[in-house]
Structure 1
Amino acid sequence: MPVAARASGPVRVLVFPSGTEVGQEIGRALERSLHVQLHGASSRDDHGALAFARHARLPSLDAPDFDARFQALLAEWRIELVFATHDSVQDHLAPRIASWGAVLANGDPEACRIARSKRATLDTFAHTGWTPRRHDDPAAVTQWPVAVKPDAGQGGQGFARAEDAATLAQAMAAVAQPLVTEYLPGEEISVDCFSDRHRRLLYVGPRSRERVVGGIAMRSRPLPADATVSAIAEAINARLVLRGPWFLQLRRDAQGRWKLLEFSCRLSTGSTVARAAGVNLPLLAVQDFLERDVRILAEPRLHVLERRLEHHAVLDYAFDTCYFDLDDTVFCNGIANPAAMRLAYRLLELGKRLVLLTRHPGDIARTLAAARIAPGLFDDIVHLRQGEPKSSAIRAPALFIDNHFPERLEVSRHHGIPVFDVDALDLLYR
């Protein structure tokens, strides 16, 4: 879709599958951008439906009606730019999506085909000296151990280390289209990259993989791009048509030399490190889609990034008002409670009323001012007399937030509405 022909306004972006870690990262990177109208879709019931305000369910990639349903969704939402969050999806969409009237971020068909196959990747860059030695004849292996992995795997899935011919045979039998290469015993890094529409490699961001769970680096540090790492990224960029975010995995061999494990034409799971340093790779892709020349401004003092599992509670209850207690709920240890403030502003975004409900013994306005909480945050402030039950001021349907259990019990018994302690605030309406 030529940019000159598009209507003005935000770019209509689809993230698929939306519930993956990559999909969630793209959502966080783009959800507040004025340049983007964000949509998500998934083939299963997952977190994508909670994280994307506009969301659809699609059949699985191998379903006979996937292409027709996907194309129909693009037309219905008038999607302009698609981010694929899985290598198989990227490879499937790349040769098709242009005829469906949309653009796939970094979706050159040849680049996606080569990236999806480790064997094709090794063939493409066999002359470079930075690909691991391949063993096409398992019977001819003389240097042990060796690495076994599926040709179309990702994130270390299906990887095995074989110490001898017997374990090699077992490992090869356990995966589809096994690939056997030299074993690389050294340090492994991920390298996030960005190439623009002029085929310029604008960003090379290596990062460590210090604690890995399920193939995802949970602790990473940004690293300097040494000459070898930069040269490998430049060589891949020069050989293939890349436009948008992509990444590669490197590991040192027994002599300490960097060797290529794989590369991918999509955003990486750990690209949050780049975003934390001020390099928002999905947003750069949107700007490049709009044919705007972009520049990189990375913060060099970023030290480390830690990941963790997040929780999102879904409340099956319709309400229009949330009542907050003041002492030890909104106001804790002399300052505003950050969790309560986050929930309050999120509920305002959702169009809910906020009411402060308290028997605070002092001057409420002075207490709020000391905590730097604006009284206008609340639609109403109800100052109860001592001994007056809080249930008397509550009108259902509503939520009630109070740190004191007897108060929650009294309100629950009187109104039957959901009541929560402060420990639940970080789980609600994220």
Structure 2
Amino acid sequence: MTNILIFPAGTEIGKEIYYALRHDKHINITLAGSDYDSHARHCACAYHVIPDIAQPNWLDALQQLLQLEKIDYIFPAHDDALLALSEKRDALSATVLCPPHETCHTTRYKSKTYQSLRKILPVPAVYTDSNKITQWPVFVKPDRGQGAQGASCIETPEALASLLAQQSDLIVCEYLSGDEYTVDCFSERDRGLLFCQPRTRSRIRAGIAMTSRLVTLEHVEEYARAISDRFHMRGAWFFQLKRAATGELTLLEVAPRIAGTMALNRVNGINFPLLTVYEAMRKKIALLPVCKELQITRSLSNQYKHSIQFQHVYIDYDDTVIINDKLCLLVITFLYQCINHEISIHLITRHAGDIHLELNTRRISMLFDSIIHLDKDAKKSDWIKQQNSIFIDDSFSERMEVFNAKEIPTFDINMLELLIRD
């Protein structure tokens, strides 16, 4: 078993790494990060609170965790963590999954990245003297930033002067007016670039591509190979491009890490986090994408904490397990989750017809520990024997009757996501 730590786990990057590795039978995942509520604290594996890398004692705390959990590999899940971990990798007992520190340092800064690559691929013009700007608007962004966070389009010299007076860490660039793309890449230390796939950045929120689709672009493999060779890339990484007014694809940034929207390629057979682990293990790697036309639309997801404890589930059939003559997949997911946690499931129904034949036809007869088939006048509460139970039914009157009689939690299907564990 390979033990992998995702740190800091509460980012969108950490979420994608977790989703990409969680079902691998050879990997055990540990999560760590600061003491705040995030999706990582709702995952089905241990979450350890350790200091942020800005805190003076973070390295000692991290090393203690590595030894406690016998961690083999650390997956950085934030740009600043990537830089800090690459710098301190020799002081850690686990392998940090990233390229050399020089690469991480250079790519953390737009100015250093452009300076390093300007002779081998198109990069934006950078203005160090605002008096020499002849083409407006210009694009201003933090030199040490990611995505579109903190970036703005500035129309006039006066607005630029005002912004620069307020913030000193900005880089002033040529404004690129065309479409924007991300290119997801994978490199092996011995064979160089093995895979690159461009995708659109159609809808962006907080620097994250919320809608993206696979596309084919000119010169992308040439750019990717040049970047990979220049920075000695290993494992997963990406770069972003934008079209200039001339139509030329021009570099925005390079990041030697996982991107959250790499999920689009993961479901296409290119599991970047897992491939990165394999690259570190020096395993033989082959790639097999399955689809040329693919799109992702991302959204917020809900995670819940609750104090409800139960060992028995009593659930209705019609309009609950079955809705519109089809199995309700949310309910089926929940029932199998109960089986995994050794929670008993009791079907309690007034179904008109042979319920056993119905269940056999639906191929779900073995899901239930007991089947209670009632006549139309029987009270469901009379058949609920255990206090540590919950009751699920689409009918409010049925739920009210059971609650009044048994004082146990009752749910309809719209409430059920509360009980689904990630």
> What residue number does 1:369 align with?
360
Does residue 413 in structure 1 map to residue 380 in structure 2?
A: no
Contiguous gaps of at least 5 residues in structure 2 = none
| Offset at residue 69 of structure 1 (A) | 0.9
> What residue number does 2:133 align with?
141
Measured in 2, the distance between the counterparts of 1:400 and 1:68 equals: 48
1:193 to 177, 185, 189: 185
Deviations 1:377-409 (A, max 9, x none): 122222233322222222121221111101111
TM-score normalized by the length of structure 2: 0.95
> What residue number does 1:4 align with?
none
Measured in 2, the distance between the counterparts of 1:97 and 1:297 equals: 32
> What residue number does 1:259 align with?
250
Does residue 299 in structure 1 map to residue 295 in structure 2?
A: no
Does residue 316 in structure 1 map to residue 307 in structure 2?
A: yes
Within 5 A, what are the aligned runs for 1:15-414? 15-43=6-34, 44-226=36-218, 228-373=219-364, 375-394=365-384, 395-414=386-405
Measured in 2, the distance between the counterparts of 1:299 and 1:175 equals: 46
Which residue identity is paired with 1:252? R
Q: 2:139·2:172 contact (CA, 8 Å) conserved in 1?
A: yes
Does residue 425 in structure 1 map to residue 412 in structure 2?
A: no
Per the alignment, in what secondary structure is the counterpart of residue 234 of structure 1?
helix
Deviations 1:147-190 (A, max 9, x none): 11111111111111112211111232444411111111111000
Which residue identity is paired with 2:53? L
> What residue number does 1:3 align with?
none
Deviations 1:228-265 (A, max 9, x none): 11111111110112111111110011101111111111
> What residue number does 1:6 align with?
none
Measured in 2, the distance between the counterparts of 1:427 and 1:199 equals: 47
Measured in 2, the distance between the counterparts of 1:123 and 1:215 equals: 23
Quick one: structure 1 residues 174 and 260, their matched pair in 2 at CA, closer, same or farther if it must change by over 3 Å?
A: farther
Quick one: structure 1 residues 410 and 98, their matched pair in 2 at CA, closer, same or farther if it must change by over 3 Å?
A: farther
Which residue identity is paired with 1:145? P
Measured in 1, the distance between the counterparts of 2:44 and 2:128 equals: 45
| Offset at residue 108 of structure 1 (A) | 1.8
Which residue identity is paired with 2:398? E
Which residue identity is paired with 1:203? F
Quick one: structure 1 residues 175 and 324, their matched pair in 2 at CA, closer, same or farther if it must change by over 3 Å?
A: farther
Q: 2:15·2:260 contact (CA, 8 Å) conserved in 1?
A: no
Q: Which moved more, 1:86-95 or 1:36-45?
A: 36-45
Measured in 1, the distance between the counterparts of 2:135 and 2:406 equals: 73
Per the alignment, in what secondary structure is the counterpart of residue 283 of structure 1?
helix
Q: 1:25·1:272 contact (CA, 8 Å) conserved in 2?
A: yes
Per the alignment, in what secondary structure is the counterpart of residue 295 of structure 1?
coil
Which residue identity is paired with 1:102? A
Quick one: structure 1 residues 334 and 313, their matched pair in 2 at CA, closer, same or farther if it must change by over 3 Å?
A: same
Measured in 2, the distance between the counterparts of 1:401 and 1:25 equals: 32
Per the alignment, in what secondary structure is the counterpart of residue 94 of structure 1?
helix
TM-score normalized by the length of structure 1: 0.94
| Offset at residue 300 of structure 1 (A) | 2.7
| Offset at residue 52 of structure 1 (A) | 4.0
Q: 1:347·1:429 contact (CA, 8 Å) conserved in 2?
A: no
Which residue identity is paired with 2:201? R
Deviations 1:307-338 (A, max 9, x none): 12111222212211222111110122222111
Which residue identity is paired with 1:352? I
Measured in 2, the distance between the counterparts of 1:52 and 1:200 equals: 35
Measured in 1, the distance between the counterparts of 2:44 and 2:247 equals: 44
Q: Which moved more, 1:127-136 or 1:253-262?
A: 127-136
Measured in 1, the distance between the counterparts of 2:74 and 2:61 equals: 15
Per the alignment, in what secondary structure is the counterpart of residue 242 of structure 1?
coil
| Offset at residue 426 of structure 1 (A) | 3.4
Measured in 2, the distance between the counterparts of 1:302 and 1:75 equals: 44
Measured in 1, the distance between the counterparts of 2:279 and 2:369 equals: 43
Q: 1:199·1:243 contact (CA, 8 Å) conserved in 2?
A: no
Identity of aligned residues (%): 36
| Offset at residue 422 of structure 1 (A) | 1.0
Measured in 1, the distance between the counterparts of 2:95 and 2:44 equals: 20
Q: 1:331·1:371 contact (CA, 8 Å) conserved in 2?
A: no
Measured in 2, the distance between the counterparts of 1:33 and 1:325 equals: 35
Contiguous gaps of at least 5 residues in structure 1 = 1-9
Measured in 2, the distance between the counterparts of 1:326 and 1:258 equals: 57
Quick one: structure 1 residues 108 and 282, their matched pair in 2 at CA, closer, same or farther if it must change by over 3 Å?
A: same
Q: 2:264·2:294 contact (CA, 8 Å) conserved in 1?
A: no
Measured in 1, the distance between the counterparts of 2:90 and 2:377 equals: 68
Measured in 2, the distance between the counterparts of 1:371 and 1:313 equals: 31
Which residue identity is paired with 2:244? D
